[in-house]
Structure 1
Amino acid sequence: MTVSALILGCSGRSLTAEETAFFRAVKPWGFILFRRNIGTPDEVRALTAALRDTVGRADAPVLVDQEGGRVQRMGPPHWPVYPPGGRFAGFGREAAAMARLGARLMAHDLAEVGINVDCAPVLDVPSEGSHDIIGDRAYGREPDAVAEIGRAVAEGLMEGGVLPVVKHMPGHGRAACDSHKDLPVVDAPRDALEARDFRPFRALADLPLAMSAHVVFTAIDPERPATQSATVIREIVRGAIGFDGLLMTDDLSMHALTGPFRARTEAAFRAGIDVALHCNGERAEMEAVAEGAPALAGESLRRAERALALLATRAKGFDVAQARARFEAGLSAAA
């Protein structure tokens, strides 16, 4: 079966007839959900099943951004509020254990409704004066601590049968603006980037999935954001960082990128991206992105298959009530 190197969003809590026909024709590798798609647990479960039915693959990835804090698509009244990543630094020696437990609980929430990929952990390391788009989403301001907690989050998710996506490779921490609205340009020298920004990603380079940053690093490629830079992807992501997992774009509809959507997509694939991500569910944009995306093949297909093979490793015998009580007690004690 031919699969397009795409991850696409949809418009609401159920698929329209037009969306169903489009997804059947295009056959994206996966899908992504946002708050507009989240209803009751039964509604989410029905939506994830319907999305997979359009492509005929029971293991088709369904992604969501469920970090905790202000980036949490599933929340009350059906799911608990989770703390932002920055909260875990306050647990001292228990930081990694608490982060892992929280991620394991989130994985349970997601897996119960058919979501098998979480766009976390955030491995960006904020710097003085950087925009707060990362802010308390980060696990701290020291690269090694960010890597330790990020590893714990990734392991907690995978124990629950949910694949992690590390973001935003090779680093969004120094960005002085929000890439949803503008294109960040980072002028730091390469040795400073290597020592700080790239370090957590290098420590977690063995993980299966990553998301690129819509950020220009002038010391490496002064003309193109990482998502569309062959130099950044070849020399930094695949080279200095050593990541050989599947690399997806950040959302192609973000205003950091300019130009027609087909051209945005083609530029990303020319640079070496494996899969294009488009999130807002706008049909005309998705059609243009689909026109610019190739079939998932070669090394990209190998990376995708290797990632999905990890879904079979979900741990058994997890006592949700006991784990949630332990997590909540830890949060209360730290507060």
Structure 2
Amino acid sequence: MQHAPLIIDIAGTALTSDDRRRLAHPLVGGMILFARNWVGRTQLTALTAQIKRLRPDLLICVDHEGGRVQRFRTDGFTHLPPMRALGQLWMRDAMRAQDAASACGYVLGSELRACGVDLSFAPVLDLDWADAQGGSRSSVIGDRAFHADARVVTMLAKSVAHGLLRAGMAHCGKHFPGHGGVAADSHTELPRDTRALKALLKDDAAPYGWLGSTLAAVMPAHVVYPRVDARPAGFSARWLQAILRQRLGFGGAIITDDLSMKAARHIEGRTVSPTDAVLAALAAGCDMALLCNQSLGNGQVVDDTIDGLARAQLSGQWQPSEASAARRLALLPPIQQAQPWDDLMRDAAYLRALALLP
């Protein structure tokens, strides 16, 4: 098995010769879709089929959670509610909320699978901490979170994951150990959460412990918890190996958040290149490294990062991992050929799930 840790993007709605060259590289194991890669279902299905003809093992990913984080919203895709709506439903009827959460996962997964997408980076496991005014402390998380109670988050996230599994899709809990307690947005600055490890494990990280044996993948936060480690969680061997893997028992894939984000470009006061960020994440225990929005223009950053990782392998600075390779392949759908869209629209289980959405 080839350890192919890079997940990259493409600029347009069909593959160019540069896209084909990059996606065919043995160090590239996945690609991530954005709204700019979308025209409609027919185009998206043709694009994903192009990719699978090039590399059947390539993991096709997207950030598609519901609410404001939903890349495809037209041409029949269901407008899924933000996850907070499920938490609000829980407060009225906990059993119905779990059923609705499973339905959300099923609808989300089946629609994406019908268009050839393998994995959505969902669900969000962050807690919805309140600020002094009673709103969400973290604007970047906000209504993407199910609830402020880690127990509620765990039960609803498990239900969403169950729905995704029924649709033939794995899942990825994020952002470990928790992004909901900081106001800063890691896309534009480096957040710091000054709580002690005991408090973080009791609250924000609790869902990862309760779901440690069932989560398929985890995405760490670009947040520094200085009382635990000076490095952001995604670059911290203590967080990823000592705590997530050993203490919490997680055995699935660890996938970085976007390494082009500002918070991922600063490690212990140093500004690092994308290649250095990838190497630091892999050394800390990540299995795959996500590099977004770098194919725009001439895509030089993508090429430089692929070349930089290849040089690091040749020089012995980085060594591939068979375990990481196996974790990536385990995220691929068990059946590559999904139910076609028109058949899905008549499917009784899908129609039942639509009726259960809040």
TM-score, structure 1 normalization:
0.90
2:301 maps to 285
Contact 2:85–2:146 (CA<8 Å) still a contact in 1? yes
Amino acid at match of 1:268: A
Structure 2 SS opposite 1:300? helix
1:68 to 66, 86, 106: 66
* Alpha carbons of structure 1 residues 23 and 307: separation in structure 2 relative to 1, 3 Å: closer
Instruction: Note the aligned Cα RMSD (angstroms).
Output: 2.3
C-alpha separation in 2, matches of 1:2 and 1:327: 38
1:149 to 153, 156, 161: 156
C-alpha separation in 2, matches of 1:90 and 1:315: 33
2:105 to 103, 106, 117: 103
1:247 to 233, 247, 254: 254
C-alpha separation in 1, matches of 2:328 and 2:302: 21
Q: Does 1:22 align with 2:22?
A: yes
C-alpha separation in 2, matches of 1:292 and 1:198: 33
TM-score, structure 2 normalization:
0.85
1:177 to 168, 171, 184: 184
Moved more, 290-299 or 267-276: 290-299
C-alpha separation in 1, matches of 2:200 and 2:19: 42
1:126: how far off? Answer: 2.5
1:124: how far off? Answer: 0.7
Contact 1:68–1:82 (CA<8 Å) still a contact in 2? yes
1:123 maps to 125
1:296: how far off? Answer: 4.8
C-alpha separation in 1, matches of 2:3 and 2:102: 33
Structure 2 SS opposite 1:185? coil
1:167 maps to 174
Q: Does 1:297 align with 2:316?
A: no
Q: How does 1:50-69 map to 2 (within 5 A)?
A: 50-54=50-54, 56=55, 58-69=56-67
Structure 1 SS opposite 2:18? helix
C-alpha separation in 2, matches of 1:244 and 1:190: 21
1:111: how far off? Answer: 0.7
Contact 2:150–2:207 (CA<8 Å) still a contact in 1? yes
Q: Deviation per CA, 1:116-152, whole angstroms, max 9, x where unpaired?
A: 1111010011323322111100011100000000001
1:22: how far off? Answer: 2.3
C-alpha separation in 2, matches of 1:75 and 1:28: 28
C-alpha separation in 2, matches of 1:315 and 1:155: 17
1:311 maps to 334
Structure 2 SS opposite 1:81? coil
Structure 2 unmatched ranges of 5 or more? 132-136, 266-271, 314-318
